[in-house]
Amino acid sequence: METKTLEQSFSAYFNAKPEFIVRAPGRVNLIGEHTDYNDGFVLPMAIDHAVWIALTPRTDFTVCIRSLDLDVDSVFDLQSLSKGEGWSEYIKGVAYFLQKTGYELKGFNAVMTGDVPRGAGLSSSAAVELATARAFAAGSGFAWDAAQMARISQKAENDWVGVNCGIMDQMASAASRKGYALFLDCRTLEYQHAPLPENSSVVILDTSTRRGLVDSAYNERRNQCEEAARWFGVKALRDVSVDEFEKRSGLSEVVTRRARHVITENARVLEAVQAMKVGDVQRLGELFNASHVSLRDDFEVTNEALNQIVECAQSQPGCYGARMTGAGFGGCAVALVHAESTQEFTNAVSAAYRKISGLDASVYVCKASEGASLVEGENRT
């Protein structure tokens, strides 16, 4: 994204130069799926697809923001926020919970644009939320606290927009570092930046399938995990080790499988971080593959297209491992590929997937990007 283009759009609309430009990325999860709402571990990375906002603060409480992609604007008053419909609900929700937490906000004039594919499971909504939080931090002059901003953004998504997500997407967008994945403890929100293996590429494979009713299936999985935690007598499944899990029996068959996924997935994340530290890309790939099997057979959140694209990916030379990523039921898979094989890999997977499914995949070779940041302008904190 050229900040020049964004500046020009702002100028065309507001007749002045913007004072700030902020950016917040989408994310892909490398491993640790459906573990965040079990107080567990995740390993996402911010991708080089993001949302940008150019803004100038106002002296009153009005927010006037234009979506360049949708070609519409939204105007609202920070002192009388009420729920409505559409893209600006993410912005209003973040504003509402920032104020509720005690932040004093100024209004702003802004234009917004983004290139995170929508609805693909790459957290375009978290990118909008964190870009909004970053815009308010710059415009209203308060310090950036990644974990706090992620929590507020999650609250906006849960209680304003009404989507029951965990904390992973918002933390990945808020706290990631260029060139690294984010190893996050979803209970404490402590994190470390884990180095990505050298000579390898992270490739996102969008199946182009989208499934409705994801929300209800997602909530059903959450309820099953809570049921398992109650049965084990712990706060969350994070508190059950693989050994403890194997010693116990008597939980219903389906809930046992759900719990097994979460418990083994947490162990896989810890092992993946170790593998990354020592540069063992083979092992990392194996963990990707094992994660997919667990999500397919135990957690049952894949669909046929995801299974097909993962198999197409895994059977290519140069592929260390592949798995579905995100909530599942459609959307994207992620593959770890030898850098030199990347071009061949993307061509071969696209062709093989088209042959087997009749569908066209979108493929993104991704770089790990920086979390939410101020791209232009001086923070006045």
Residues found near ligand GLA in the complex (CB under 6 A): 33-34, 36-37, 165-166, 168-169, 326-327
Helix axis angle, 214-232 relative to 253-277, nearest 10°?
Answer: 90
Beta carbon of residue 108, minimum distance to ligand GLA (angstroms, whole number):
27
Residue 344's φ and ψ, nearest 5 degrees, are: -60, -40
Beta carbon of residue 266, minimum distance to ligand GLA (angstroms, whole number):
12
**Residue tagged active-site, from 39, 169, 206, 298:** 169
**Which residues, including other chains, have CB under 8 Å from residue 211's CB and lie 6 or more apart?**
303, 329, 330
Q: Is 73 among the residues known to form the active site?
A: no
Nearer Cβ to ligand GLA (20/41): 41
Q: How far apart are CA 239 and CA 155, in angstroms?
A: 24
Give the three-class secondary structure for 265: helix
Query: What's the distance, Cα to Cα, between the start and end of the chain in Å?
Result: 27
**Which residues, including other chains, have CB under 8 Å from residue 245's CB and lie 6 or more apart?**
259, 260, 263
Nearer Cβ to ligand GLA (166/371): 166
35 touches 72 (CB < 8 A): no
Nearer Cβ to ligand GLA (33/298): 33
Beta carbon of residue 336, minimum distance to ligand GLA (angstroms, whole number):
18
Nearer Cβ to ligand GLA (201/291): 291
Nearer Cβ to ligand GLA (26/197): 26
Beta carbon of residue 278, minimum distance to ligand GLA (angstroms, whole number):
25
What tokens does 2 get?
């050229």
- Of 58, 107, 55, nearest to 79 by C-alpha is 107
Q: How far apart are CA 346 and CA 336, in angstroms?
A: 11
Q: How far apart are CA 64 and CA 77, in angstroms?
A: 9
Beta carbon of residue 48, minimum distance to ligand GLA (angstroms, whole number):
19
Question: Could you list the active site residues?
Answer: 169
